[in-house]
Homo-oligomer: A and B are copies of this chain.
Amino acid sequence: MELQFLGTGAGMPSKMRNTSAVILNLSAEGEGYWLFDCGEATQHQLLHTPLKPRKIAKIFITHLHGDHIFGLPGLLGSRSFLGGNERLEIYGPSGLKEWLETTLRITTTHLNYELLIQEVGEGIIVEDDKFKVIAKNLQHGIPCLGYRIEQKPLPGKLLIDKVNEAGVPKGPLLKELKDGSDVTLPDGRLIFSKDVTGEPQEGFTVTILGDTSYCNAAVELALDADLLVHEATFDMDTDNLAKEYGHSTIGDAARTASEAGAKKLIANHISARFMPSDVAKLKEQGEAIFPTLHIAEDFSRFVWIDGQVKNLNAEKPS
């Protein structure tokens, strides 16, 4: 799992930060890329990364404000033009389907792939053998979702000593045991997977929220998460504005991470009002409440290694 931020600004693009988009790269887990929100010029940001639009398999939209969706039609078209022919699933609040269908129709955009647009509310909105995605309503004036992505426990490692001891022949039976199935050997003996594999490994949980004031739903979505991505449109001196506009301060984000027992917090959706020195102050304010905090920059990358989220320094785009 890798997480790469493509846009970390609020409301409008600036030279420093584009509008919202973050890619959860699940290629290693066999799921392709999952994109969360798609502000205008997200496809332009992708041009400065090695990421390929055609590998985007799912898109999750938190809410229908322009700074979170205006890049979607262009990206859908380019994904097709650049060779994408595998089905794309888009999840988001009610209204998304009407807007996308109207847009594709009026611009006569032809897609060389199947497009599934699924308007969703609270609940489990995606589940397969490897992942579960849970959505909850946040607090932002218009319907706005937060997403909790849970990787299911991974089968334990095959214990070579044990399979040799049991006399399991090399080949497909080993893979079945590794994948959790019990097998019958050619000589009739039944071998239980649990006897020849180690403990199942816990999967990761990543929580990616849309714009929101502090709310219980955010804490619930982030419960024990390895990583929480939370907006911080305001600093703690402008708490009143945050509440008024349905946004969070860096303090709200840190408090949510802390109450949820999350392991790491990445704050994004940073207003262009904040100069680089203000961002340092923002970080300090947050760290006083929740120490394992990063402020996302455009192109910041985070990876999941040995059960931990590690920060790869933001690379300057080429």
Give residues in A with beta carbon < 8 Å to B.
11-15, 18-19, 40-41, 43-44, 47-48, 64-67, 69-71, 73-74, 77-78, 81-82, 95-96, 98-99, 102-103, 106-109, 142
Bound Cα distance A66, B67 (Å) = 18
CB of A275, distance to nearest CB on chain B (Å): 16
Bound Cα distance A41, B12 (Å) = 11
Question: By the criterion CB–CB under 8 Å, are A65 and B107 in contact?
Answer: yes
Question: By the criterion CB–CB under 8 Å, are B74 and A73 in contact?
Answer: no
A107 proximity list for chain B (CB < 8 A): 64-66, 69-70, 99
Q: Per a CB cutoff under 8 Å, which of B19, B44, B99, B102 touches A13? A: B44
Q: Per a CB cutoff under 8 Å, which of B41, B44, B47, B65 touches A108? A: B65
A65 proximity list for chain B (CB < 8 A): 107-108
Could you tell me the dominant secondary structure of chain A's interface residues? loop
A102 proximity list for chain B (CB < 8 A): 98-99, 102-103
A64 proximity list for chain B (CB < 8 A): 106-108
Question: By the criterion CB–CB under 8 Å, are A71 and B40 in contact?
Answer: yes
Number of copies: 2
Q: With CB as the reference atom, state the residue of chain B lying closest to A77.
A: B66
Q: With CB as the reference atom, state the residue of chain B lying closest to A95.
A: B106
User: Given A13-B44, A106-B98: A66 and B70 within 8 A (CB)?
Assistant: no
CB of A271, distance to nearest CB on chain B (Å): 12
Q: With CB as the reference atom, state the residue of chain B lying closest to A109.
A: B66
A96 proximity list for chain B (CB < 8 A): 106
Question: By the criterion CB–CB under 8 Å, are A11 and B43 in contact?
Answer: no
Q: Per a CB cutoff under 8 Å, which of B11, B13, B82, B95 touches A47? A: B13
User: Which of A19, A41, A142 gathers the greatest number of chain B CB atoms within 10 Å?
Assistant: A41
Bound Cα distance A74, B44 (Å) = 15
Q: Per a CB cutoff under 8 Å, which of B13, B81, B106 touches A43? A: B13
User: Given A41-B41, A106-B99: A74 and B66 within 8 A (CB)?
Assistant: yes
Bound Cα distance A69, B102 (Å) = 14
Bound Cα distance A13, B73 (Å) = 13
A98 proximity list for chain B (CB < 8 A): 102, 106
Q: With CB as the reference atom, state the residue of chain B lying closest to A12.
A: B78
Bound Cα distance A233, B6 (Å) = 30
